[in-house]
Amino acid sequence: MKILVGIKRVIDYNVRIRVKSDASGVETDGVKMSINPFDEIALEEALRIREAGLAEEVIVVSLGGNECQQQLRTGLAMGADRAIQVDTAEDLQPLTIARTFLKVIEKEQPGLVLLGKQAIDGDNSQTAQMLAALWDRPQATFVSQMNMSGESVTVVREVDAGLETIEVDLPAVISVDLRLNEPRFVKLPDIMKAKRKPLEVIALDELGVAPENNLEVSKYSPPPVRAKGILVEDTAQLVTELKTRGLV
């Protein structure tokens, strides 16, 4: 069985985001870029499934320009067998991304597709659901525990009411949550080995997918600065301040 894992190049989660002076986007020059943390968890789970003898090959896929090859090489260094870059300069939206993944699925015929539950830049949490609908296969989202068994997988989902356990038949699309696992640390020898692993580049138009960006972001702005707090002397003053501000 093949496992297909989607990974996205994003600003590292430890970096403080800064909006450009012209409000046209966020600053990326000289900023550390990494694999989206949820995607890294998805890749780690795919590698563990392969190491348990339940899969034969793990393939990482990313959409973007040549800069995303850095993250694909990191995925190969973690242990993925092959990498595929869908080359495009467009800023793709979830539906187009899902259609692109579907074309790669039709080419590779994986038994399982693993994605992060969302990217930390767009926070859309839509691609996995759209892909499952387009592929007409079962889906399990926000997964924090997985157990492969034959032609199915039992998962624990994190939902608003708590935890939900379901079983889905393979092939399926699964999006993973934060508590599923802790990704492994990439060692220098693995980084050197990754340079020799295959990385295939496919142009987006070769897959027959046309970008459909129906949403346009006109302006970016940082969150408002929080008002400075005050120190009250007693409970009475606290209640008075809350009433003044219309909070009680």
| Per-residue buried b or exposed e for 212-233, using 16+ beta carbons within 10 Å of the residue's own CB | eeeeeeeeeeeeeeeeeeeeee
| CATH class given for the domain over 2-244 | alpha beta
Q: Check residues 7 and 232 and name the one with the higher pLDDT.
A: 7
| Element housing 169 (H / E) | strand 162-169
* Banded model confidence at residue 56, pLDDT cuts 50, 70, 90: very high
pLDDT at 64 (0 to 100): 93
Tell me the mean pLDDT in the region 242-248: 86
Residues 6+ apart with CB under 8 A from 53: none
Examine the pLDDT at 213 and tell me if it is beyond 80: no
What is the distance, to the nearest Å, from the Cα of residue 151 to the centroid of all Cα atoms in its chain?
25
At 101-155, the pLDDT tens digits run: 999 999 999 999 999 999 998 889 999 999 999 999 999 999 999 999 889 999 9
Q: Say if residues 25 and 46 touch (Cβ distance below 8 Å).
A: no
The residue among 141, 111, 106 whose CA lies nearest residue 127 is 141
The residue among 131, 124, 107 whose CA lies nearest residue 36 is 124
